[in-house]
Structure 1
Amino acid sequence: MPTPKGNGRPTDPKISEKLLDTAERILETDGFQGLRVEALVSEAQTSRPAMYRRFPDLAHLTLEVLLRRYGDNRVEPTGTLAGDLLQLQLNEAKMLSEPLMAKTLPALLKAVSDDPKLGKLLYEEFILPRRLRVKEVIDNAVDRGELGTGSYNLVFICNLLLGPLMSLSMVPSASADLSADAARMTAEVVERELRVATGSPE
C-alpha cells in the first residue's frame, strides 16, 4: 500500500482506496496513456496534493493497482509437480490476458526502465514473490520424491514459465494464443527441464 511521504499528517486510507479504485477503472478502460492526474483526482473527489502525498507519480500508482489485483499468485497444491506448475501458469495466463494488465504492462515496463526506484519496487513486490512461489512448488516436489536434489537455476526456470506468456501478451495479434494450451505447454517444458536438471526420472 502507498506510504505517506515526509512527516506530515497521517493519510486517510479511504482516499488511498478511492484513488486506487478510480485508477483501476481508468486503466482497465483506457490504459496507462488514458490516466491523467486531473481526471483521476476529480473522479476520486480528492486533490493533486492528496494524490502526491500517497504516490510519487502515476507509474507508482499504476504498480500499486496491479499489486492489489495480482500480488498474490498462490495456488492450492494439487499433489503433483505437473499439476502445481499448470495451476501457476493458468493463473499467470489469465492475469496477462485481462484488460487491466494487457493495457498497462507495456507502459509500466517502459516507466521502470527510466526509474530505478520503481524497478526495485516491481522486483521486490511483484517479481520476487512469484519466483519464491515457483521455488515453493519445486521444493514440495522434492519433498514428495518427484524430483531429485540436483541443482537448478531458479531464475531460468521462472523465465521459462513467464517469458513466453509475456511475449504473447505484448503482441496484439498473438494475444489470442494466451490460453490454457499455452499454460499447459510451458508447464510441461519446465517440468521436463527440472527433471533433467535434478536428475529425476520421467
Structure 2
Amino acid sequence: MDVRKGAGAGRPRDPGIDTAVLTAAGRQLDDRGFQALSFESVARTAHTTRAAIYRRWPTRTHLALAVVAWRLDVPPAPDTGCTLCDLAEGMKVFLSAFRTLRPDVLNAIHVACANDEELRAEYRRIVDEPPRAVVTGLLQRAQRRGDLREDVDIGSLLDILNAVIHHRAVVGATHLSNDEAEALIEILMRGAASDYERLVAHSRTIDIQHSLPL
C-alpha cells in the first residue's frame, strides 16, 4: 500500500486534513519519538478523528512513513560540469532523506518495517530510492565525461554511500555531518576517479569563479 493513499479509496480526500495530520504527527515524532506516536493525540491536535486517520494510514508505521514522504523534497540532479561540485550537492540530497527525522525515530521506523514486506518496500521507495536516483544520474554523467574510471561500478558506489549514511542515521546518535560527507566523497573518489587531482583543481576553479564580483 502506498502510504500516501488511504484505505477508504471510495471517499474523497480532504487535503486539509492530510496536512493537519502530517503536521501533528511530525511534531509528535520530533518531540516524543516513534513509540509515543498516538493516533488519538494526533487526531486531537489536528482537529479530526481517529477514524479519519485510520482511513488514510492503517498503522502508525504507515503514518510515520507518510511524514517522511511529506517532508522530503528531492531536487533534480545538479549538472554543473564539475563532478566534485555535483557530488557535494548530491550528497546533500542523500542526507536530507535521513535528516527528515531524528536518528532514533528513523531507526524505530526502520525496525517496524523490517518484518513486513510491504512496509520494507515503502521504506525503500520513500527513503532510499529518490536520493539514489539523483546521485545515479550525476555519477553516470561523470562517467560519460571520463571523470570516473570506465571499470567503476556505479551501483557499488551508491551502495557504499547509502550504507554509511543509513548506518549513521539508524544506529548512530547523530546524522552524518556535511564535513563527514565531504570526507566520504574524497575517500570514494580517490579510488573511483580517473584523475582525482584534476577534479579537485577543476572544483577549485569553479569556486574561484563563483567568488569573483560581477
Q: Deviations over 1:75-96 (max 9, x none)?
A: 5334222122222224444654
Change (3 A) 1:149 1:161: same
Do structure 1's residue 106 and structure 2's residue 107 form an aligned pair?
A: yes
Question: Is the 8 Å Cα contact of residues 65 and 123 (structure 2) preserved in structure 1?
Answer: yes
Q: Which residue identity lines up with residue 61 of structure 2 in the other structure?
A: A
Q: How far apart are the structure 2 equivalents of 1:71 and 1:111? A: 23
Question: Is the 8 Å Cα contact of residues 17 and 48 (structure 2) preserved in structure 1?
Answer: yes
| Structure 1, unaligned runs of 5 or more | none
The corresponding residue for 2:203 is none
Shift of 1:54: 0.6
Q: Which residue identity lines up with residue 181 of structure 1 in the other structure?
A: D
Shift of 1:146: 1.7
Q: Which residue identity lines up with residue 135 of structure 1 in the other structure?
A: T
Equivalent of residue 78 in structure 2, options 73, 76, 79 = 76
Q: Which residue identity lines up with residue 166 of structure 1 in the other structure?
A: H
Question: Is the 8 Å Cα contact of residues 27 and 35 (structure 1) preserved in structure 2?
Answer: yes
Do structure 1's residue 140 and structure 2's residue 138 form an aligned pair?
A: no
Q: Which residue identity lines up with residue 127 of structure 1 in the other structure?
A: D
The corresponding residue for 1:38 is 40
- Aligned-residue sequence identity (percent) comes to 28
So what's the TM-score if we normalise by structure 2? 0.79
Q: SS of 1:114's equivalent?
A: coil
| Structure 2, unaligned runs of 5 or more | 197-214
The corresponding residue for 2:19 is 17
Q: How far apart are the structure 1 equivalents of 2:75 and 2:184? A: 17
Q: SS of 1:34's equivalent?
A: coil
Question: Is the 8 Å Cα contact of residues 73 and 88 (structure 1) preserved in structure 2?
Answer: no
Question: Is the 8 Å Cα contact of residues 72 and 96 (structure 2) preserved in structure 1?
Answer: no
Question: Is the 8 Å Cα contact of residues 37 and 48 (structure 1) preserved in structure 2?
Answer: yes
The corresponding residue for 1:179 is 177
Change (3 A) 1:93 1:122: closer
Shift of 1:16: 1.1
Q: How far apart are the structure 2 equivalents of 1:125 and 1:95? A: 8
Shift of 1:6: 4.4
Q: How far apart are the structure 2 equivalents of 1:95 and 1:127? A: 8
Question: Is the 8 Å Cα contact of residues 93 and 131 (structure 2) preserved in structure 1?
Answer: no
So what's the TM-score if we normalise by structure 1? 0.83
Of 26-35 and 122-131, the range deviating more from structure 2? 122-131
Question: Is the 8 Å Cα contact of residues 21 and 43 (structure 2) preserved in structure 1?
Answer: yes
